[in-house]
A and B are shown apart, each in its own frame.
Chain A
Amino acid sequence: MSSLRLRVQKHLETSMGAVATLRQITDESGQPSSLRKQLDVVIPANNLGTGRTVTISPGLWVVEATLPSGELITTQVDVAPGKDVPVVLQSAEHSPREWLSWQYLLGNVESQATLELLRQRARRMAKRLAREALGKSADPKFVERIAESAADAVAYLWHMLAAPFAAVLRFVTNGKFPSETAITEEPASAETEDATVRLLAADTLSGSDADHWSALFSNDATDSPHSPMMVAQDIGTSVYDFERPLSPHLDQPIDLLPREFVSVTWRNERYAISLPLPWPAVDGETGVAAQIMVRRLPVEGRLQIGVAVLDRTFGPLAGFMTAATLPKAAVVVEQAYDMLFNKTRNPLAAGAAGYVLIAAGDAAKRDWHEWIDNLERLFPGFPDGAVLRGSLLLRYARDQAEISQAREAFLHAYDRGIPYFSTGVSWLLDGLMLFSGEPRVDDRVAKVQRVARRLDLSQAFTIVRLSEQQRSRKQQRTSLDASRSTPVAAENGDLSAMSDIASDIVPTTFSTIDLQPEATASLDLTEFVNTLLEKLRKLKDERFAYYENLRRENSAWANKSRRWLALLGSLAFLLTALTAALRFTGWFDGWDKNALLAALAIYAIMGTISFYEKGTTKTSDYFRHLSVILSIRDLWTKLQFALLGEAIALKKADDKLAAEPAARARIIALAEAFCNDLNKLSASELADWRTAFMSSLTELSETAKKGSDDVAKQLQDAVKAAEKSATDAKAAAETAAKAAAEAAKPGSVNVTIVGEFDGEVVVFVEGFERARSNGKSVAIESVPPGIRKFSAQAQKGANKLEASQMVEIKPGLQNLTLALT
């Protein structure tokens, strides 16, 4: 047999690091395994520590580990016979901070990579907005929106991003906008505003008649003399540890009373957290701390709270309970069965296990059912014990008597107070609702429901939101701002989550309002105003959509062309300087020409870009459309405020009926004025566009004409040059012909013979006899030009005398001397 030694690499230590599912794919010979059973084991998480050894048969195995956060890690391992193979599973991502390791393990906080992704997105958004602002006049409202958006993105980036941009804006606008706006100050929503965490006095929420459910919402809770200990704070997150010593009597069940709650407040948010203490460790002799993480989320305008018990053995069970990993929690509980149920020192851990086993619906093992009974009986301060017992009885009821016992158990649970576990609150409500209609039950249902509807179900331990939900600035802005559009998926296809543009909006400026006068006139005032507003909104949306589409089309060009021109210009400038330097120094001979050519090419490209811009007017179009969009926004805002004024005036009128006709008339006038203003915008934009269009046409026409003239002139010059070239060529040809003719004329040669000879001398040219003479001078005429051989032969006594020479014959007379030898 072989074995695998499994663990998860983490910077904390727990025996419950993950639930690993092992499946054998092939046997040791590589054949697909006939075994289909899978093994589920709980493996530890630690930093370079030991793993859990699992005996397996050799072959290829797939290991799939589910962490308490829900993360899934998969790997394949080939195990040879007799080998013990270590398998270390690594998370794809990591905790953002080491002191958040437990919270990250349970899935209460995002990974470092996800947080970085959020920061990058915030940076991009803040930069984009600031660029727009720098390109606009310093309208304080617009600048405030930029700052707000930058702060909303990730509030703690205010220090790094928005504040410097605010400083730039101040510089750009010469400090014209007032310093008391949110731009110059850090927004009140910035994450520097800490949450207040208080440990409440023990049993302060019990109430005089043990009505814990109502006391939870009172403001009378007093603080404990012990202050919570903050252990770390960073990135908008604070972590607090709470401890409670155990009773020294190890043989006695621990006493959960007095009950403790933690109060967390931030702005108008108020939460109550049930503190899961005391929590004995497995050995039962020491207690472990409960850790509360408080994270501020300015975007949503709320807090995120995570509760973890720093128990190396059972702490992660809370994560398994809340993720979509409840089946894995059942594996954990099964394998920790003895520790959980054979000791009565930790009712909280046993209670968590009880929830898991009931939820998993495992009817096979029934001995743990006794322990649920024990939990209820031995720990009267533990409401969850009674909830578990009631739920168990309902689930496995054998007769009506057990159903009645279940009802009584739920009523006991109610009397004991608020369950420690959020599942307990939910199950208590469900359990009571099953018996609704009975007088003892119904009023309890209402009180439990009030708490249940404020539960944070993402946490295993009970966290109740006591305050009303604050709408975030983002949500507030959504209802007012008509110009948002966000390129992300919409809520279940909810068009309003993407933008305010409904699916039946067709971008156009040609549409007109469809008043349906007869139907509209017969509506009562409220309906009349709502209907009119809806029609005006549609008209507004159509116009807005039209200009928004146009703006978007030109946005990239408008923003990028200038940047490119600047870059190219800089490069060309550099090359020009380089050319001069190369010429001056003489280095890299010939490269100055290349640099100059490159600079010329860049200038040509810049010229092309500029020409294109002039011809298409994309940038000016962009700003014109942006201006129209903002004008539509302003008109809409103005209309709404005007309508609001009318509504208030009518409300205050002594005789509303009498005032109604005049109000209607004014509202109609406002609507008409709005439509007219919208039309004027379009007409004005059309006029501007036409002007720009004609101007660009003129420019193009002039450029074309100029270009045409230039080209024509160049053509003419080229023709003239060609003509001249032809004439010159003819003269040169004639001269050449004449010269050639002259060069072809034959030459005459006076040959002088040197040396004594008898009789005649014979002169040959090219081997042919040309002349005989008794004298020493011989004239030879009509010798063709070129290199010829001249030779002379004579006799002196019995000796034959000869002479020869190669001569270049040219037209005209030449002399040649041949010496006989």
Chain B
Amino acid sequence: MVERFLVHEVSTKGATATHAIVIGVGDYPNLRRGSSKQKTDDHEGMGQLTSPPISAREFASWLIESFEHPEKPLASVSLLLSERKPKPFVNPRTNKPSQVALANTSNVLSALLDWRDRGNRSPKNLLLFFFCGHGLAAGSSMSLPLADYGAGDLPALEGALDFNRFVLGMHRCRASEQCFFVDACRTESEMLKNAEGAAGRFPIQPGPRNPAWPILRAPVFYSTTQGYKAYALSNKPSIYTRALLDSLQNLGAERSEDADDWRVSTDRLSQAVGHLIDRYSREFERLAPPTVNGAVNVLLNRLKEPPWALVYVKTDPPTALRKMSIECLLGGSPVQPTRVDDLNKAELVLQLPTGYYEFTATFPGRRRTSPRKDYVAPINCSLNFREPPR
């Protein structure tokens, strides 16, 4: 039976695998400027969003195209979206278009149950959860409004997912590795704070984990600090999703101690994402750092090729920076760096593949510095060149 929420499925013949569910909610008909005539009073200032469906599509596409786990290959990706103009999702591997289910409460709960059932197939399974959309927070509680938030006569939270209870319910799933990525605001909600009971619906009743199962390792990644919003530019992936994907694919990678490859685990991932958000916050003044609950280190991705890293170049004096050119030699061969957007005018930001480089800076008048050797590896390295005297 074809499951209606899946946009990608690969048979693993019961072996340990990774199963992902990706949810992006941008169109909220019952919030401000929504398409429904009935608007909820519990809108808490929330309106329509453009970036969550785009972010969710990007994340799903990345999983299908680039995710690689050495022991738990990707077996399924469920995708649910709520967007103003729905369109199919084209699988980047097979080029096959799939209709995408609406991310309303009923569908999301069903999809989560299906996802949990796939996790139950093996205690070594890895489950990935990604959500992008509005978020309501009150202390340690978090509610994720879905497409039908505020619809009908029921309380608005009936159209939301009680995230904490949902995560606690997943204790009762056999899969011992579960990673949750929540890209949503965490601004304080008076409504949630004063609400009694649950902060929304949840698919599985919380309960203690079966002692016979392996210990659960379930870090939760939030895109922003409690009390703050998450941000994006209209019609583009969110800032957090962009940072997350850059980190999953490059900056969060570390050289594996046991194998000769580069791997991304949750510890390093959170550092890399935090570093990128810190840089973006210089451009978008309101960004708050992302946070993570839980310090367990879960392996997420193995790179097919060495990652690139960021190189921050400064000069002494700083005014010499714009007139300087830099030569990068890797194993004696020149490498052309990719220039990244300059957020800080006193710094040049380059992107280079990992390796042991020889850098030489040339200033006007053919004044060159002595070559310097530096190792470039994620997350970043810093170079400082002193302008030679004329």
- The residues of A with any CB-CB pair to B shorter than 8 Å are 23, 25-26, 32, 36-38, 60, 62, 66, 70, 72, 74-76, 117, 121, 322-327, 329-330, 356, 359-361, 363, 394-400, 402-403, 406, 422, 425-426, 429-430, 433-437, 446, 449, 451-458, 468-469, 475, 478-479, 488-498, 502-503, 527, 530-531
Task: Enumerate 8 A-B pairs (CB-CB under 8 Å) in ascending A order.
Answer: A36-B256, A361-B296, A455-B139, A456-B139, A457-B226, A489-B284, A491-B231, A493-B26
When C-beta atoms are compared, the residue in chain A nearest to B297 turns out to be: A327
Contact (Cβ within 8 A) A324 B138:
no
CA separation between A360 and B276, bound complex, in Å? Answer: 24
Out of A37, A72, A531, name the residue touching B257 (CB < 8 Å): A37
- Whole-angstrom CA separation of A76 from B295 in the bound complex: 27
In the bound complex, CA of A36 to CA of B205 (Å): 44
Residues in B neighbouring A396, C-beta threshold 8 A: 215
- Residues of B contacting A117 in the complex (Cβ-Cβ under 8 angstroms): 285
- Determine if B168 and A434 form an interchain contact, defined as CB atoms under 8 angstroms apart: yes
Residue in B37, B375, B379 whose CB lies within 8 Å of A527 = B37
- Interface residues of chain B, those whose CB is within 8 Å of chain A, are 26, 32-33, 37, 39, 45-52, 54, 132-134, 138-141, 164-165, 168, 171, 183-185, 188, 190, 192-193, 196-197, 205-209, 211, 215-217, 225-227, 229-236, 238-239, 255-257, 267, 270-271, 273-275, 284-287, 289-297, 356, 373-375, 377, 379-382
Contact check, A74 vs B188: say whether CB atoms are below 8 A apart.
Answer: no
In the complex formed, the residue of A with least CB distance to B31 is A496
- Docked Cα-Cα span, A329 to B295, in Å, equals 9
Give min CB distance, B284 to chain A, whole Å: 4
Do B274 and A475 touch across chains, with their CB atoms under 8 A apart? Answer: no
Contact A493–B138 (Cβ < 8 Å) = no
User: Do A452 and B33 contact each other (CB < 8 Å), given the known contacts A72-B275, A490-B234?
Assistant: no
- Our pick among B271, B289, B375 for the contact of A76 (Cβ within 8 Å) is B375
How far is it, in angstroms, between the C-alpha of A771 and the C-alpha of B54 when the chains are bound? 121
Q: Which residues of B contact A479 (CB under 8 A)?
A: 45
Q: Give the residues in chain A near B239, CB-CB below 8 Å.
A: 489
Closest to B229 in A: A491
Instruction: Given contacts A36-B256, A454-B193, A492-B49, list 12 more A-B pairs with CB under 8 A.
Output: A76-B381, A363-B215, A394-B208, A395-B216, A453-B141, A454-B138, A489-B239, A489-B284, A491-B49, A491-B185, A493-B51, A493-B236
B47, B50, B134, B188: the one within 8 Å of A469 (CB): B188
Whole-angstrom CA separation of A468 from B192 in the bound complex: 12
Distance in Å: Cβ of A573 to nearest Cβ of chain B: 34
Complex CA gap A38/B258 in Å reads 12
* Chain A positions within 8 Å of B49 at CB level: 491-495
Q: Cβ of B48 and Cβ of A495 under 8 Å apart?
A: yes
The one of A32, A454, A457, A469 in contact with B356, judged by C-beta atoms closer than 8 angstroms, is A32
The minimal Cβ–Cβ distance linking A421 to chain B, given in whole angstroms, is 12
Whether A492 lies near B215 (C-beta < 8 A) is no
Shortest CB-to-CB span from A542 to chain B, Å, is 14
B208 touches A406 (CB 8 A): yes
Q: Which residues of chain A are within 8 angstroms of B33 by Cβ–Cβ distance?
A: 495-496, 502
> Smallest CB–CB gap between B112 and chain A, Å?
18
In the bound complex, how far is the Cα of B256 from the Cα of A434, in angstroms?
Answer: 37
* Bound Cα distance A74, B374 (Å): 12
Q: In the complex the two chains form, what is the Cα distance from A25 to B373 in whole Å?
A: 11
Question: How distant is B317 from chain A, measured CB to nearest CB, in Å?
Answer: 18
State whether B140 touches A489 (Cβ < 8 A).
Answer: no
**Residue with the greatest number of chain B CB neighbours at <10 A, chosen from A75, A436, A469, A497:** A497
Q: Given A324-B289, A458-B226: A446 and B196 within 8 A (CB)?
A: yes
8 Å CB contact of A36 from B229, B231, B257: B257
B46/A494 in contact, CB under 8 A? yes
| Contact between A359 and B171, CB atoms less than 8 A apart | no
**Within the assembled complex, what's the spacing in Å between the Cα atoms of A475 and B138?**
18
Complex Cα spacing A60 to B235, Å: 45
With A36-B257, A330-B295 as known contacts, state yes or no: A495 contacts B207, CB within 8 Å. Answer: no
Closest to A32 in B: B356
Q: Please measure, in the bound complex, the distance between the C-alpha atom of A429 and the C-alpha atom of B164, giving whole angstroms.
A: 10
Other-chain contact of B294, A322, A359, A495 (Cβ < 8 Å)? A359
Q: Is there contact, CB below 8 Å, between A502 and B48? A: yes
Report whether A62 and B140 are in contact in the complex, using a CB–CB cutoff of 8 Å: no
For B271, list chain A residues within 8 Å (CB). Answer: 66, 72, 324-325
Task: Quote the shortest CB–CB distance from B195 to chain A (angstroms).
Answer: 8
Q: Are A324 and B274 in contact (CB under 8 A)?
A: yes
State in angstroms the CA–CA spacing of A75 and B234 once bound together: 37
> In the complex, which residues of chain A have a beta carbon less than 8 angstroms from the beta carbon of B290?
324
Q: In the assembly, what is the distance between CA of A72 and CA of B267, in Å?
A: 14
Task: Give the chain A neighbours of B196 by CB distance below 8 A.
Answer: 446
Instruction: Name the A residues within 8 Å of B37 (CB-CB).
Output: 527, 530-531
A453, B138: Cβ atoms under 8 Å?
yes
Q: Does the CB pair B140–A475 fall under 8 Å?
A: no
Q: Do B140 and A492 touch across chains, with their CB atoms under 8 A apart?
A: no
CA distance in complex: A531, B238 (Å)? 32
Q: Residue of A at shortest CB range from B140?
A: A426
- Measured in the bound complex, the distance between the Cα atoms of B47 and A491 in whole Å is 10
A residues less than 8 Å from B286 (CB atoms) = 488-489
Find chain B residues with CB under 8 A from A399 CB.
211
Q: Identify which of B132, B234, B255, B270 contacts A503 (C-beta below 8 A).
A: B234
| CA A479 to CA B290, docked complex, whole Å | 28
**A60 contacts which chain B residues (CB < 8 A)?**
373, 375
Closest residue on chain A to residue B162 by CB atoms: A433
A153 to B233, alpha carbons, bound, how many Å?
A: 23
Contact between A457 and B275 (Cβ–Cβ < 8 Å)?
Answer: no
A37 to B54, CA, bound (A): 39
Q: Which residue on chain B has the smallest CB distance to residue A531?
A: B37
CA distance A496 to B28 in the complex (A): 13
* Shortest Cβ distance from residue A66 to the other chain B in the assembled complex, whole angstroms: 7
Task: Please state if A453 and B140 are interface contacts (CB–CB under 8 Å).
Answer: yes
Q: For B233, what are the chain A residues with a Cβ–Cβ distance below 8 Å?
A: 489-490, 493
Q: How far is the CB of B52 from chain A (nearest CB, A)?
A: 6
Q: Which residues of A contact B164 (CB under 8 A)?
A: 430, 433
Nearest B-chain residue to A322, judged by Cβ = B291
What's the minimum C-beta distance from A331 to chain B, rounded to whole angstroms? 10
Residues of A near B285 (CB, < 8 A) are: 117, 121, 488
**Is B48 within 8 A of A457, CB to CB?**
no
With beta carbons under 8 angstroms apart, the residue of B171, B192, B227, B295 that contacts A327 is: B295
Would A361 and B295 count as touching, CB distance under 8 A?
Answer: yes
Complex A-B, nearest 8 residue pairs according to Cβ-Cβ distance, in ascending order: A493-B51, A326-B295, A493-B50, A455-B139, A453-B138, A361-B296, A496-B47, A426-B140
A70 to B168, CA, bound (A): 28
* Complex: A453 Cα to B274 Cα, angstroms: 25
B124 to chain A, nearest CB (A): 16
CB closest residue in chain B, given A464: B139
Closest Cβ of chain A to B297, distance in Å, is 7
Cα distance, A356 to B215, chains bound together (Å): 16
Q: Closest A residue to B138 by CB, please name it.
A: A453
Q: Beyond A76-B375, A489-B231, A493-B238, is A356–B295 a contact (Cβ under 8 Å)?
A: yes
A330 to B12, CA, bound (A): 36
Most buried by A among B50, B230, B233, B375: B375
Chain B residues with Cβ below 8 Å from A478 are 45
- Across the interface, which residues of A come within 8 angstroms of B32, CB to CB? 496
Q: Is the CB of A452 within 8 A of B48?
A: no
CA distance A363 to B214 in the complex (A): 11
Contacts of B274 in A (CB 8 A): 70, 72, 324
Report B143 CB to chain A, min CB distance, Å. Answer: 11
Complex CA distance for A452 and B141, rounded to whole angstroms? 7
Find out whether the CB atom of A397 lies under 8 angstroms from the CB atom of B295: no
Q: Are B226's CB and A70's CB within 8 A?
A: no
Supposing A492-B134, A531-B37 touch, asked if A26 and B267 sit within 8 A by C-beta, the answer is no
* Chain B nearest Cβ from A435, distance in angstroms: 7
CB distance from A124 to the nearest CB of B (A): 12
Q: How far is the CA of A531 from the CA of B39 in the complex (A)?
A: 11
- State whether A492 touches B232 (Cβ < 8 A): yes
Bound complex: CA of A202 vs CA of B214, how far in Å?
44
Q: How far is the CA of A455 from the CA of B356 in the complex (A)?
A: 47
CA A402 – CA B211 in complex, angstroms?
A: 9
In the bound assembly, the distance between CA atoms of A503 and B356 in angstroms comes to 48
